[in-house]
Amino acid sequence: MPELPEVETIRRGLTKFLNGVKITKIKILCDKSFIGPKEVAINQKIKAINRRGKALLIDLENGITLMIHLRMTGQLIFRGDENFAGGHPTDSFVNELPDNQTRVIIELENGTLFFNDQRKFGFIKVLETVEVENDKFIKSLAKEPWDMTFAEFKENLMHHKSAPIKATILDQKVIAGVGNIYADEALYYAQIHPSYATGMLKDAQIEKLLEGIRNVMQASIDSGGSTMKTYVKADGTKGDYLRLFAKVFRREGEPCERCGTEIIKTRVAGRGTHICPNCQKEGR
Ligand SMILES: [Zn+2]
């Protein structure tokens, strides 16, 4: 599932190809995947591509915004003189399109943008740009890690004193954009056990945790996220972008970089969870 850094990577990639370009045609292959009247987006130039949490916002010059949620399996694949793809990594990144997972085709002056979504939980929604902030999804989001102060983070955390810290930071109303990968990585960074009670955290730990969330997300963005570039390496073999920055996620059985102890996979807050049992001792 694409997390905030992956969506930010897609935003940056698409900005390069779509900024200032006119949409000429929209073909909807699955009704569920496109909400609202497509006509208002036709013959309109793309003014900017923004992001709020995991939502991509394609702003058009006539005051319309196409809000895109990739959810579990969504992908955005641009084909033109140059190609770009991001989102859930599959062979659709490189295969001929449309394929049987293509839900919406957006024709542009300089190429075609395919919205693929195997499980159909993602969607594109037509909104007035001024209404974006009132959208129920956007409204419920807390600030992003880069915009949140220590005091705000602490206050939000302390609404969930008895909950395990991992569950608390996965709550998008506490801090926006932290998914399973980044929760594990940030807790490892801050040396906090994921099931530690939120209300027991000391200020120094909260500070370290916020720093960890920022650092691991930035490292992921810098690594190129889940895109065509990291999916297929230059030599044609398949890459795994997680290997570029993740210290514990999907590294069970490998030695901890800090202390050499074997990383284990456990379950916290109903989610698969990766920890170093030495650096992240229970009860701390
Ligand atoms: Zn360790």
Structural domain boundaries enclosing 34: 4-139
**8 and 125 both lie in a single domain:** yes
Q: Are 193 and 281 in contact (CB under 8 A)?
A: yes
CATH number of residue 270's parent domain: 1.10.8.50
| CATH number assigned to the domain comprising residue 91 | 3.20.190.10
Q: Is residue 284 part of a domain?
A: no
Q: What is the pLDDT of residues 180-239, one digit of tens each?
A: 999 999 999 999 999 999 999 999 999 999 999 999 999 888 887 666 666 665 555 666
What is the CA(153)–ligand 1 centre distance, in A? 26
What positions carry a catalytic annotation?
A: 2-3, 54, 271
In 109-237, the DSSP E strands lie at 111-117, 123-128
* CB-side neighbour CA atoms (13 Å) of 177: 26
Ligand 1 centroid distance, CA of 176 (Å)? 27
- Cα 148 to middle of ligand 1, angstroms: 28
In the reported structure, the alpha carbon of residue 180 is separated from the centroid of ligand 1 by a whole-number distance in angstroms of 19
Do 155 and 124 share a domain, yes or no? no
Specify the number of domains making up the chain.
2
Nearest CA-CA partner of 71 in 58, 85, 57, 55 = 55
pTM: 0.84
Run of H or E including 80: strand 74-80
pLDDT digits (tens, 9 = 90+) for 44-75: 999 999 998 889 999 999 999 999 999 989 99
Place of tokens 């497509």: 38
If asked whether residues 128 and 169 sit together in one domain, one would say: no
Percent of the chain with pLDDT over 70: 94
Q: Do 69 and 54 contact (CB within 8 A), yes or no?
A: yes
Q: What percent of the chain has pLDDT over 90?
A: 76
Using the 3D structure, point to which of 91, 113, 139 is the last residue of a domain: 139
Q: How far is the CA of 157 from the centre of ligand 1 (A)?
A: 25
Residue 234 has a pLDDT of 53
Strands 23-28 and 64-69, sheet pairing: unpaired
The domain boundary, picked from 107, 139, 171, lies at 139
In a domain, 271, yes or no: yes
